[in-house]
Amino acid sequence: MMQKVKMKKHIINTEDAPKPVGPYSQAVKAGNLIFISGQIPIDPKKDALVVGDFTAETRQVFDNIEAVCRAASIGLENIVKLNIFLTDLSNFDEVNQAMLQRFSAPFPARATIQVSKLPMNVNIEIDAIAVLEI
């Protein structure tokens, strides 16, 4: 018979990233891992979407992820996995350019998926998994 072990979860929240638009946390720390919820291009200072310029939208998403990382006392270098959701894969090269501005080798593992629609009709959403110690 397997014994249930209750894992302690720590919720990470910051005013420097958008408030969740549903019943979820900005990030959850479980053990040595931090699971960062999908971030969309909402500017938390203005509480408004960044729209019209895909590069600016992508930059805002990475700003939001970085803010959540800071709240967890880590940096982007601690991210080991990204899931990138795009409504148009023709923006793939722009995502790569944005990543090169924020990340250096060794790069995190990554999946990039085209989807038909994202929350609030945005063009990009990214979630991440980070580790506390690399």
Output the tens digit of pLDDT for each of the chain's 134 residues. 667 767 789 999 999 999 998 999 999 999 999 999 999 999 999 999 999 899 999 999 999 999 999 999 999 999 999 999 999 999 999 999 999 999 999 999 999 999 999 999 999 999 999 999 86
Spans of all domains in the chain? 9-131
Residues ≥6 apart with Cβ < 8 Å to 68: 12, 14, 17, 26, 27, 36, 39
Alpha helices in the chain (DSSP H): 54-71, 92-102
> What percentage of the chain's residues is helix, strand, coil (to nearest 5)?
30, 30, 40
Q: How far apart are CA 95 and CA 16, in angstroms?
A: 22
Q: Taking the domain 9-131, which CATH number applies?
A: 3.30.1330.40
